[in-house]
Amino acid sequence: AQSVTQLGSHVSVSEGALVLLRCNYSSSVPPYLFWYVQYPNQGLQLLLKYTSAATLVKGINGFEAEFKKSETSFHLTKPSAHMSDAAEYFCAVSEPNAGNMLTFGGGTRLMVKP
């Protein structure tokens, strides 16, 4: 069975600082990995996805994530935080032939201080 662990339910950074949101997964086969963002009173929006084409994946709004098989990690980063990045971020994993089902992590709420 697959699972996703997001370390830190809350992360606070200053505007302009590096954003690092951690995600570790467990899967019996090479997985597909996703990061979603949820702004208040909205649904989840896709930030980026890893589907084995390249280990470093670039997404929208300046975010990127690196797949590290040896560490079973898929951490999300952004070099410089903006106030508008304040939101909840979810890491999700899907296994091949799993019917597009996603297993979500518990989410990390990112707060950006001025």
**What is the DSSP code (8-state) at residue 30?**
P
Nearer to other proteins, 48 or 112 (CB): 48
Give whole-number Cα distances, 41 to 34, 44, 87, in Å: 21, 10, 11
Quick one: 2 exposed, middle or buried, by C-beta within 10 A (0-12, 13-18, 19+)? middle
- Interacting residues with other proteins (CB under 8 A): 32, 34, 36, 41-46, 49, 51, 90, 94, 96, 99-102, 104, 106-107
Nearer to other proteins, 29 or 83 (CB): 29
- Report, in Å, the least distance between residue 45 CB and other proteins: 7
- Report, in Å, the least distance between residue 106 CB and other proteins: 5
Nearer to other proteins, 15 or 24 (CB): 24
- Report, in Å, the least distance between residue 18 CB and other proteins: 26
Nearer to other proteins, 63 or 81 (CB): 63
- Report, in Å, the least distance between residue 105 CB and other proteins: 8
SS (H, E, C) 38-101: ECCCCCEEEEEEECCCCCEEECHHHCEEEEEHHHCEEEEEECCCCHHHCEEEEEEEECCCCCCC
